[in-house]
Amino acid sequence: MKKAIFFILLTPMIFLVFACNGNQQPGWKTDAILKVGTDATYPPFEMVDTKTGQPDGFDIDIMKAICRINGWRPEFIVTPFDGIISGLKGNKYDCIISAMTITEQRQAIVDFSESYYLAGQVIAVPPDDTIINSANDLRGKKVGVQLGTTGEKMAKSLSGLLVFSFDNIGAAFIDMENGQIDAILNDWPTTNEYIRLKGTAKTVGEILSKEYYGIALKKGDRELITKIDSAITIIKGNGEYDNIYEKWFNPVP
């Protein structure tokens, strides 16, 4: 009788244990696929390699290194920057690496890894322009920015500008070359890369801000943030970060 009662009492407990275990998440273990959102129109951070058709760039190499250290397999999902956070919240990918500045507004809806890059806004103008030399000279001018970026936010905060927002910054440079806009406000690393490759613009004035890039994750995903932060610390300490930086920002001619 005691055995029967014990079995009756124990059976629900066993069922409860198995039910709880069945609902546990597997976690970020070795060989997991990490889906990564990126806007591959922003060299040298992220762009599509014309030979392979795959995303490439500084951010892509950083994420590949993070995944290798954690034993993950990265899967890059290319998406427009303006809707990239919405895609994260909609579970289209697990994180974002896309030259994304850590801001208070973004921190209200996503979490960020530790910063992995310091950038800032700079003004670009046609090579023969002699009128625009600083932000003060942008009043009344047509200024191109990328939609959804901190450059767009800064441009809209300055008085007297005519702000034109583009889906990608390359389109803004093309319009400036064609005389459709007067200047561009954009992160200096990408602006410098465009000038290096095309030679159809120049920067003027000082860098207008300090902006720290981070990897964006869903709110509360502490395990993933911890593993990513740990990997960033490792690559900064073992020289791999420096090698990736040299590859993309100081390329051998």
Give SS3 for 73: strand
Closest among 112, 96, 125, 100 to 36, alpha carbons compared: 96
* Confidence at residue 9, expressed as pLDDT on a 0 to 100 scale: 41
Query: Does CATH number 3.10.20.310 belong to domain 33-118+212-249?
Result: no
Written as six digits, the tokens of 19 are 């039910």
Within the chain, where are the H helices?
A: 2-23, 58-70, 84-89, 104-107, 150-157, 169-177, 188-198, 222-237, 240-249
The H-assigned helical ranges of 121-221 are 150-157, 169-177, 188-198
Domain limits, the chain = 33-118+212-249, 121-209
- The CA–CA distances, whole Å, from 62 to 193, 207, 241 equal 18, 24, 7
The number of beta carbons lying within 10 Å of the beta carbon of residue 4 is 8
Enter the CATH code of domain 121-209.
Answer: 3.40.190.10
Residue 252's pLDDT is: 58
Detail the DSSP E strand segments found in 115-209.
117-119, 121-125, 142-146, 162-166, 183-187, 202-204
Q: What is the pTM of this model?
A: 0.82
State both tokens at 123.
């003004």
pLDDT along the chain (253 residues), means of 10: 40 40 56 95 94 96 98 97 96 97 96 97 97 96 96 95 95 97 96 91 96 97 96 98 94 60
Q: Do domains 33-118+212-249 and 121-209 have the same CATH topology?
A: yes
pLDDT of residue 253: 52
